[in-house]
Amino acid sequence: MARARSPLGLVPVAAAALACDPDGAAPPPWHASARALLEQVEADEFRRWPSEVIEGHASHGAFSAVFVNAVFDAARTDPRPRVHWPTGSVLVCEGRDQADGEARTLQIMRREAGSAGGGWIWAQYDGDGEPLDYGTATTCLHCHAAGDDYVRSVSFAGE
Ligand code: HEC
Protein backbone atom coordinates (compact mmCIF):
# COMPACT_ATOMS: atom_id res chain seq x y z
CA MET A 1 0.00 0.00 0.00
CA ALA A 2 1.33 3.45 -0.90
CA ARG A 3 2.24 5.59 2.05
CA ALA A 4 -0.43 8.24 2.60
CA ARG A 5 0.97 11.74 2.44
CA SER A 6 -0.78 14.17 4.70
CA PRO A 7 -1.31 17.56 3.14
CA LEU A 8 -1.00 18.88 6.67
CA GLY A 9 2.70 18.05 6.43
CA LEU A 10 3.10 21.36 4.58
CA VAL A 11 1.84 23.48 7.42
CA PRO A 12 5.08 23.79 9.39
CA VAL A 13 6.93 24.75 6.17
CA ALA A 14 4.42 27.50 5.44
CA ALA A 15 4.74 28.74 9.02
CA ALA A 16 8.52 28.81 8.69
CA ALA A 17 8.23 30.77 5.44
CA LEU A 18 6.06 33.33 7.18
CA ALA A 19 8.67 33.68 9.91
CA CYS A 20 11.18 34.67 7.19
CA ASP A 21 9.00 37.50 5.89
CA PRO A 22 11.56 40.17 4.89
CA ASP A 23 9.31 42.89 6.32
CA GLY A 24 9.67 41.28 9.73
CA ALA A 25 13.45 40.75 9.49
CA ALA A 26 15.83 43.01 11.38
CA PRO A 27 17.38 45.64 9.06
CA PRO A 28 21.13 45.36 8.43
CA PRO A 29 23.25 47.26 10.99
CA TRP A 30 24.29 50.00 8.53
CA HIS A 31 20.68 51.15 8.05
CA ALA A 32 20.80 53.40 11.12
CA SER A 33 23.94 55.19 9.86
CA ALA A 34 22.43 55.55 6.40
CA ARG A 35 19.27 57.08 7.85
CA ALA A 36 21.30 59.44 10.06
CA LEU A 37 23.28 60.67 7.04
CA LEU A 38 20.11 61.33 5.04
CA GLU A 39 18.54 63.15 8.01
CA GLN A 40 21.69 65.26 8.25
CA VAL A 41 21.67 66.40 4.60
CA GLU A 42 17.93 67.06 4.81
CA ALA A 43 18.46 69.13 8.00
CA ASP A 44 21.17 71.00 6.07
CA GLU A 45 18.51 71.68 3.38
CA PHE A 46 20.50 70.19 0.52
CA ARG A 47 17.86 71.19 -2.03
CA ARG A 48 18.96 74.80 -1.47
CA TRP A 49 22.67 74.07 -2.13
CA PRO A 50 24.32 75.03 -5.42
CA SER A 51 23.07 72.48 -7.92
CA GLU A 52 22.87 71.48 -11.53
CA VAL A 53 20.70 69.02 -13.44
CA ILE A 54 22.58 67.05 -16.08
CA GLU A 55 21.70 64.21 -18.39
CA GLY A 56 22.57 61.04 -16.48
CA HIS A 57 25.32 58.71 -17.66
CA ALA A 58 24.91 56.36 -14.72
CA SER A 59 22.30 54.04 -13.34
CA HIS A 60 21.12 56.83 -11.02
CA GLY A 61 18.47 58.12 -13.44
CA ALA A 62 17.89 59.56 -16.92
CA PHE A 63 18.81 62.88 -15.29
CA SER A 64 21.08 63.55 -12.32
CA ALA A 65 20.43 66.56 -10.10
CA VAL A 66 23.72 67.16 -8.29
CA PHE A 67 23.76 69.30 -5.13
CA VAL A 68 27.05 70.34 -3.48
CA ASN A 69 27.58 71.74 0.01
CA ALA A 70 29.51 74.93 0.82
CA VAL A 71 32.78 73.12 1.61
CA PHE A 72 32.79 71.44 -1.79
CA ASP A 73 31.57 74.55 -3.59
CA ALA A 74 34.46 76.65 -2.23
CA ALA A 75 36.98 73.98 -3.29
CA ARG A 76 35.39 73.65 -6.73
CA THR A 77 36.21 77.25 -7.65
CA ASP A 78 39.59 77.41 -5.89
CA PRO A 79 42.18 77.44 -8.72
CA ARG A 80 44.97 75.96 -6.58
CA PRO A 81 46.00 72.50 -7.77
CA ARG A 82 44.60 69.68 -5.66
CA VAL A 83 44.43 65.93 -5.62
CA HIS A 84 41.63 65.60 -3.04
CA TRP A 85 38.38 67.34 -2.30
CA PRO A 86 38.38 68.65 1.29
CA THR A 87 37.14 66.63 4.25
CA GLY A 88 33.54 67.62 4.93
CA SER A 89 32.62 67.87 1.24
CA VAL A 90 29.13 66.48 0.65
CA LEU A 91 27.51 65.79 -2.72
CA VAL A 92 23.95 64.60 -3.19
CA CYS A 93 22.67 63.17 -6.46
CA GLU A 94 18.98 62.78 -7.18
CA GLY A 95 18.36 60.35 -10.01
CA ARG A 96 15.29 61.49 -11.93
CA ASP A 97 13.23 60.32 -14.91
CA GLN A 98 12.55 63.94 -15.92
CA ALA A 99 14.87 66.92 -15.53
CA ASP A 100 12.48 68.60 -13.07
CA GLY A 101 10.84 65.39 -11.81
CA GLU A 102 10.80 63.62 -8.47
CA ALA A 103 13.85 61.70 -7.25
CA ARG A 104 13.61 58.00 -8.00
CA THR A 105 17.01 57.32 -6.41
CA LEU A 106 19.13 59.34 -4.00
CA GLN A 107 22.90 59.08 -3.65
CA ILE A 108 25.18 60.76 -1.13
CA MET A 109 28.98 61.03 -0.97
CA ARG A 110 30.70 62.56 2.08
CA ARG A 111 34.48 63.10 2.15
CA GLU A 112 36.05 61.62 5.29
CA ALA A 113 39.52 61.98 6.76
CA GLY A 114 40.56 58.34 6.18
CA SER A 115 41.36 56.51 2.98
CA ALA A 116 38.76 53.72 3.11
CA GLY A 117 36.21 53.91 0.32
CA GLY A 118 38.57 56.19 -1.60
CA GLY A 119 38.17 58.65 1.28
CA TRP A 120 34.40 58.80 0.93
CA ILE A 121 31.32 57.47 2.70
CA TRP A 122 28.87 56.26 0.06
CA ALA A 123 25.12 55.96 0.53
CA GLN A 124 22.21 55.12 -1.73
CA TYR A 125 18.44 55.24 -1.13
CA ASP A 126 15.30 54.59 -3.10
CA GLY A 127 12.88 57.39 -3.99
CA ASP A 128 11.23 57.08 -0.57
CA GLY A 129 14.53 57.47 1.27
CA GLU A 130 14.85 53.78 2.16
CA PRO A 131 18.56 52.83 2.45
CA LEU A 132 19.87 50.49 -0.25
CA ASP A 133 23.62 50.71 0.33
CA TYR A 134 26.00 52.43 2.75
CA GLY A 135 29.66 52.44 3.73
CA THR A 136 33.16 52.40 2.27
CA ALA A 137 33.13 48.98 0.58
CA THR A 138 30.34 49.59 -1.90
CA THR A 139 29.70 48.92 -5.56
CA CYS A 140 29.97 52.67 -6.19
CA LEU A 141 33.75 52.80 -6.27
CA HIS A 142 34.54 51.16 -9.59
CA CYS A 143 32.53 53.74 -11.58
CA HIS A 144 33.52 56.72 -9.49
CA ALA A 145 37.25 55.90 -9.64
CA ALA A 146 37.16 57.51 -13.12
CA GLY A 147 36.39 60.93 -11.60
CA ASP A 148 38.56 63.57 -9.94
CA ASP A 149 38.98 62.10 -6.45
CA TYR A 150 35.91 59.96 -7.25
CA VAL A 151 33.63 62.85 -8.25
CA ARG A 152 32.22 62.27 -11.74
CA SER A 153 30.27 65.42 -12.59
CA VAL A 154 32.70 68.11 -11.34
CA SER A 155 36.40 68.40 -12.17
CA PHE A 156 39.17 70.06 -10.18
CA ALA A 157 39.41 73.75 -11.08
CA GLY A 158 41.74 74.48 -13.97
CA GLU A 159 41.27 71.08 -15.60
C1 HEC B 1 27.59 52.75 -13.47
C2 HEC B 1 28.50 53.71 -12.89
C3 HEC B 1 28.15 54.30 -11.54
C4 HEC B 1 27.86 53.62 -10.37
C5 HEC B 1 27.84 52.11 -10.13
C6 HEC B 1 27.62 54.63 -9.36
N7 HEC B 1 27.75 55.88 -9.90
FE8 HEC B 1 27.36 57.64 -8.93
N9 HEC B 1 27.66 58.65 -10.67
C10 HEC B 1 28.06 58.10 -11.88
C11 HEC B 1 28.14 59.16 -12.88
C12 HEC B 1 28.56 58.96 -14.33
C13 HEC B 1 27.78 60.34 -12.23
C14 HEC B 1 27.67 61.75 -12.85
C15 HEC B 1 26.21 62.10 -13.06
C16 HEC B 1 25.57 61.27 -14.15
O17 HEC B 1 26.15 61.16 -15.25
O18 HEC B 1 24.49 60.72 -13.90
C19 HEC B 1 27.50 60.01 -10.85
C20 HEC B 1 27.15 60.93 -9.89
C21 HEC B 1 27.06 60.67 -8.54
C22 HEC B 1 26.96 61.66 -7.50
C23 HEC B 1 27.08 63.17 -7.69
C24 HEC B 1 28.58 63.56 -7.56
C25 HEC B 1 29.43 63.05 -8.71
O26 HEC B 1 30.28 62.16 -8.50
O27 HEC B 1 29.23 63.53 -9.85
C28 HEC B 1 26.86 61.00 -6.31
C29 HEC B 1 26.73 61.61 -4.94
C30 HEC B 1 26.90 59.58 -6.62
N31 HEC B 1 27.02 59.41 -7.98
C32 HEC B 1 26.87 58.57 -5.67
C33 HEC B 1 26.93 57.22 -5.98
C34 HEC B 1 26.77 56.16 -5.00
C35 HEC B 1 26.54 56.40 -3.51
C36 HEC B 1 26.88 54.98 -5.66
C37 HEC B 1 26.80 53.57 -5.12
C38 HEC B 1 25.64 53.21 -4.36
C39 HEC B 1 27.13 55.28 -7.06
N40 HEC B 1 27.14 56.65 -7.22
C41 HEC B 1 27.30 54.33 -8.06
C42 HEC B 1 28.31 56.77 -12.10
C43 HEC B 1 28.08 55.73 -11.22
Is the overall model pTM greater than 0.95, yes or no? no
Whole-Å CA distances, 90 to 41, 68, 70, 71, 97: 8, 6, 8, 8, 23
CATH 3.50.70.20 is right for the domain spanning 27-144? yes
pLDDT in 10s for each residue of the chain, 159 residues:
444 444 444 444 444 444 445 566 888 889 999 999 999 999 999 999 999 999 998 889 999 999 999 999 999 999 898 999 999 999 999 999 999 999 999 999 999 988 899 999 999 999 999 999 999 978 999 999 999 999 999 999 865
**How far is residue 111 from each of residues 82, 114, 149, 154, measured CA to CA in Å?**
14, 9, 10, 15
- Is the CB of residue 68 below 6 angstroms from any atom belonging to ligand 1? no
Domain boundaries, the chain: 27-144
User: Is there an atom of ligand 1 within 6 Å of 139 CB?
Assistant: yes
